[in-house]
């Protein structure tokens, strides 16, 4: 991971000629599809507590967070105070903090400083996943391309959810709702195939996550917290057992 060995590299030989921004727009399409289904449901929830399309649209464009926005809607519905809003937001969205820490290490030292104010807006589970899957340094244009397409889908879905309510057929919502998970698999499985340790990590993570959702007491923990606890524990243990060697990764 030195400067010389960590140049921005291609990820997919099939798209070698495409500029990073265009590649971002392309990879944003499946994210956009998945977001549309989720945010449509979000819009229906927002409408339920009396938010209008403009408010819900602003919320989605400004926050770009699924669990975070569901929490935000509940906070508004319960007329929460500022302190409760801020603390709940921090807890529900804490995983983005970890993701930003991780992605900050993929930026070239020569990258202009303003990107450190633009990139944070783009940190969602999916865009983070794809941005970290790039080999070597991250070219921010790739992240911005994905963000434009996916936030468009996210915001449109929320607004339409408020305006159209329940008219989207269940089969369409069902089919679209697994799109995001399919993408996650496409990010973590190919490296796991090449690297036994990462394969083990993925299996352990999924098993632990499955146990957390069925075991008594543990299953009461919210999804946001579960992600934080398991990430700290498993990635922490992995870093002790199998430290990443210098200069080897790129």
* Least gap, CB of 152 to other proteins (angstroms): 17
- If binding means CB under 8 A, how many residues of this protein chain bind other proteins? 104
**Among residues 48, 165, 242, 247, which is the contact residue for other proteins, using CB under 8 A?**
242
Burial class (CB in 10 A: 0-12, 13-18, 19+), 87: exposed
Contact between 247 and other proteins by CB under 8 A: the answer reads: no
CB atoms within 10 A of CB 72: 24
Residues of 203-219 as b/e, b for ≥16 C-beta within 10 angstroms? eebeebeeebeeeeeee
Q: Which of 1, 249, 5, 10 is nearest to 142 (CA)?
A: 10
Contact between 68 and other proteins by CB under 8 A: the answer reads: yes
* Least gap, CB of 103 to other proteins (angstroms): 8
Q: Of residues 4-23, which lie at the interface with other proteins (CB under 8 A)? A: 12, 14
Beta carbon nearer to other proteins, 19 or 120: 120
Distance CA 120, CA 55 (A): 22
* Least gap, CB of 15 to other proteins (angstroms): 10
* Least gap, CB of 191 to other proteins (angstroms): 7
Distance CA 37, CA 16 (A): 31
- DSSP sequence for 132-189: HHSSSS--HHHHHHHHHHHHHHHHHHHHHHHHHTT-S-HHHHHHHHTHHHHHHHHHHH
Q: Of residues 113-172, which lie at the interface with other proteins (CB under 8 A)? A: 116-117, 119-121, 123, 125, 128-130, 132-133, 170-171
Look at phi and psi of residue 7 and say left if phi exceeds 0, alpha if psi is from -120 to 50, else beta: beta
Beta carbon nearer to other proteins, 152 or 238: 238
Q: Of residues 167-206, which lie at the interface with other proteins (CB under 8 A)? A: 170-171, 174-193, 198, 201-202, 205-206
**Among residues 25, 42, 65, 160, which is the contact residue for other proteins, using CB under 8 A?**
65
* Least gap, CB of 164 to other proteins (angstroms): 19
Q: Of residues 21-50, which lie at the interface with other proteins (CB under 8 A)? A: 26-27, 29-30, 33-34, 49-50
Cα 147 to Cα 21, 45, 194, distances in angstroms:
10, 24, 29
* Least gap, CB of 195 to other proteins (angstroms): 10
Distance CA 60, CA 44 (A): 13
x-or-dash string of contact with other proteins, 200-239, rule CB under 8 A: -xx--xx-xxx--x---------x--xx--xx--xxx-xx
């Amino acid at each position: 991971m030195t400067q010389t060995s960590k140049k921005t590299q291609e990820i997919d030989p099939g798209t070698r000629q495409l500029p990073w921004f265009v590649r971002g727009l392309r990879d944003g399409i499946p994210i956009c599809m998945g977001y549309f289904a989720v945010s449509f449901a979000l819009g229906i929830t927002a409408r339920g507590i009396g938010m209008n399309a403009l408010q819900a649209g602003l919320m989605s464009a400004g926050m770009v967070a699924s669990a975070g926005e569901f929490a935000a809607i509940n906070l508004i519905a319960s007329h929460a105070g500022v302190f409760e809003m801020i603390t709940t937001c921090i807890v529900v969205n804490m995983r983005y903090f970890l993701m930003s820490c991780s992605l900050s290490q993929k930026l070239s030292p020569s990258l202009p400083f303003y990107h450190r104010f633009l990139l944070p807006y783009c940190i969602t589970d999916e865009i983070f996943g794809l941005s970290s899957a790039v080999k070597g340094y991250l070219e921010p244009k790739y992240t911005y391309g994905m963000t434009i397409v996916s936030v468009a889908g996210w915001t449109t879905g929320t607004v339409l959810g408020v305006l159209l309510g329940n008219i989207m057929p269940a089969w369409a919502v069902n089919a679209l709702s697994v799109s995001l998970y399919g993408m996650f698999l496409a990010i973590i499985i190919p490296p796991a195939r090449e690297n036994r340790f990462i394969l083990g990590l993925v299996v352990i993570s999924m098993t632990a996550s499955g146990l957390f959702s069925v075991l008594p007491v543990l299953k009461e923990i919210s999804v946001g917290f579960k992600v934080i606890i398991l990430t700290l524990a498993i990635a922490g243990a992995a870093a002790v057992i199998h430290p990443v060697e210098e200069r080897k990764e790129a």
